[in-house]
């Protein structure tokens, strides 16, 4: 099973700043089969990024994904108040599909 | 617009079987890849298992001995059964869709909280 470790646990930033979230895999994820989701309280996760860097339909270009192998990053440029949420990475390279433990982004 | 809606009992007794149904609208269930994912209160996400439109299944090994996922194409629904539940199975259960050939999740239901308690 591929274990995904996200860091930091919590990120507290001001509106307009840039957020950088990390997702590290316990083994290499070939073909960049990694997705990112945003989850707000009481809501289901929302797909942001798939294939490590492709934005899902309707996702603003403030959200971008990068990385390969074992190290992946989600960047949120120009933070807005509505970006306050927990962000999860998910690998779909090897079954069982697994999620990271999440990074909470707080907007000051 | 694809919509998924979970339904089923919100309270299940220990040792009994949890049963949930996901009704899909705006898309045919006879395509794509359909999954169940759960989230214990205040915790992260765990993939339970998936079923292809063909009926073939793929389960998380940690739950495989207790899980059954099935399709009902006539009703455009798919279902989850989790046997011999304990308090550790208390969670919000989500159904979700995966695009054809890929194993991420692009549409999700709103989720339903299932509590295991006597």
CB contact under 8 A, A102 and B61: no
Predicted confidence (pLDDT) at residue B90 exceeds the cutoff of 90: yes
d(CA B117, CA B90) in angstroms, rounded, equals 9
In terms of phi and psi (left: phi > 0; alpha: psi -120 to 50; beta: otherwise), the region of A59 is beta
In terms of phi and psi (left: phi > 0; alpha: psi -120 to 50; beta: otherwise), the region of A9 is alpha
d(CA B64, CA A54) in angstroms, rounded, equals 32
d(CA A94, CA A87) in angstroms, rounded, equals 21
Residues of B with CB under 8 A from a CB of A: 44-47, 58, 60-62, 94, 96, 102-106, 108-111
Residue range B16-40: mean pLDDT, rounded:
94
Judged by DSSP in three states, A82 sits in: helix
Shortest Cα distance, chain A CAs vs residue B59, angstroms: 7
Shortest Cα distance, chain A CAs vs residue B38, angstroms: 10
Judged by DSSP in three states, B44 sits in: coil
Are the C-beta atoms of residues B82 and B67 closer than 8 Å to each other?
yes
Predicted confidence (pLDDT) at residue B100 exceeds the cutoff of 90: no
Residue range A55-75: mean pLDDT, rounded:
96
Task: Give the mutation candidate from A49, A65, A96, A104 for the B interface (greatest B CB count, under 10 A).
Answer: A96
Q: Is A99 on the interface with B (CB under 8 A)?
A: yes
Q: How confident is the model at residue B53 (pLDDT cuts 50, 70, 90)?
A: confident
d(CA B90, CA B69) in angstroms, rounded, equals 18
Q: What is the pLDDT of residue B99?
A: 86
Predicted confidence (pLDDT) at residue B82 exceeds the cutoff of 90: yes
Q: What is the pLDDT of residue B48?
A: 98
Q: Is A33 on the interface with B (CB under 8 A)?
A: yes
Cα torsion angle, B56, A46, B6, B91, sign: positive
Q: What is the pLDDT of residue B102?
A: 86
Write out the two tokens for A25.
Answer: 């895999």
Write out the two tokens for B48.
Answer: 């339970």
Q: Rounded to 5 degrees, what are φ and ψ at B88? A: -65, -15
Task: Give the mutation candidate from A46, A59, A97, A99 for the B interface (greatest B CB count, under 10 A).
Answer: A97
How many of the other CB atoms lie within 10 Å of CB of A77? 14
Q: How confident is the model at residue A78 (pLDDT cuts 50, 70, 90)?
A: very high
Of A50, A56, A88, which is closest to B44 when you measure between CB atoms? A88
Shortest Cα distance, chain A CAs vs residue B69, angstroms: 15
- Chain B residues lying within 8 Å of A89, measured CB to CB: none
* Alpha helices per DSSP H over chain B: none
Predicted confidence (pLDDT) at residue B28 exceeds the cutoff of 90: no
In terms of phi and psi (left: phi > 0; alpha: psi -120 to 50; beta: otherwise), the region of A77 is beta
d(CA B2, CA B18) in angstroms, rounded, equals 25
Q: How confident is the model at residue B74 (pLDDT cuts 50, 70, 90)?
A: very high
| Residues near A9 by beta carbon (within 8 Å), at least 6 away in sequence | A101, A103, A104
Are the C-beta atoms of residues B93 and B38 closer than 8 Å to each other?
yes
Residue of B50, B4, B69, B22 lying closest to A45 (CA atoms): B4
Q: What is the pLDDT of residue A31?
A: 78
Q: What is the pLDDT of residue B45?
A: 98
d(CA B87, CA A26) in angstroms, rounded, equals 29
């Amino acid at each position: 099973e591929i274990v995904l470790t996200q860091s930091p646990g919590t990120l507290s930033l001001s509106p307009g700043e840039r957020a950088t979230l990390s997702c590290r895999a316990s083994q290499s994820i070939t073909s960049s089969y990694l997705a990112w989701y945003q989850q707000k309280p009481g809501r289901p996760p929302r797909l942001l990024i798939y294939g490590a860097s492709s934005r899902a339909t309707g996702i603003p270009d403030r959200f971008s994904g990068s990385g390969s192998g074992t190290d992946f990053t989600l960047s949120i440029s120009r933070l807005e108040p509505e970006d306050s949420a927990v962000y999860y990475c998910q690998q779909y390279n090897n079954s069982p599909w697994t999620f990271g433990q999440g990074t909470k982004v707080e907007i000051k | 617009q694809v919509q998924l809606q979970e339904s089923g009992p919100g309270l299940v007794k220990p040792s009994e079987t949890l049963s949930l149904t996901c009704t899909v609208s705006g898309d045919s269930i006879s395509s794509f890849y359909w999954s169940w994912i759960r989230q214990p209160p205040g915790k992260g996400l765990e993939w339970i298992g998936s079923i292809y439109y063909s009926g073939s299944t793929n389960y998380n090994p940690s739950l495989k001995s207790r899980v059954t996922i099935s399709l009902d194409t006539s009703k455009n629904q798919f279902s989850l059964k989790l046997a011999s539940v304990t308090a550790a199975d208390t969670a919000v259960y989500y159904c979700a869709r995966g695009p054809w050939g890929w194993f991420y999740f692009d549409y999700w239901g709103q989720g339903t909280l299932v509590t295991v308690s006597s």
